[in-house]
Amino acid sequence: MLSGDKMKKRIIVTGIIVAVVHFVVAIGSVMAAFGYGMESFNNRYLPIVVESIAGRIAGVLMQPGMFFWTPWMSKNMPNFVEWMLCVGNSLLWGFAIALLINARTLATKKETDNKNIQ
């Protein structure tokens, strides 16, 4: 059984690792969708399966951050704000997945703590 400090450290480390992976995959899928979309301008018969899949992946991974990013914000806010929203979105995904990964350990720890109180 992990102690409280070790469990917190484990969740933080897992959250940061998952957030970095999420950020790389999200940005990569946006770049892939954009890149393959540009190729279809030159050849309209080019299959756009990769563009479609990458666009859908990007659409999912950029939520809920894209929900807050409006066209007005895109025109009137500095790029720094957009990047911080993107990083914050990845951190949200990272820590949510880290909590899901460690949920069983957290649940069993709470059960054992409750047994010790009685």
Q: Tell me the whole-structure pTM to 2 decimals.
A: 0.75
pLDDT (tens digit, 9 = 90+) per residue, 14-64? 999 999 999 999 999 988 888 877 766 677 666 677 788 888 888 899 888
**pLDDT given for residue 23 in this prediction:** 95
Q: Return the residue matching tokens 């809920």.
A: 64
Q: What is the DSSP letter of 45?
A: T
Find all residues with CB under 8 Å of 43, minimum gap 6, and list them.
Answer: none
**Which burial class, exposed, middle or buried, applies to 66 when counting CB atoms under 10 A from its CB (0-12, 13-18, 19+)?**
middle
| 64 contacts 89 by C-beta, under 8 angstroms | yes
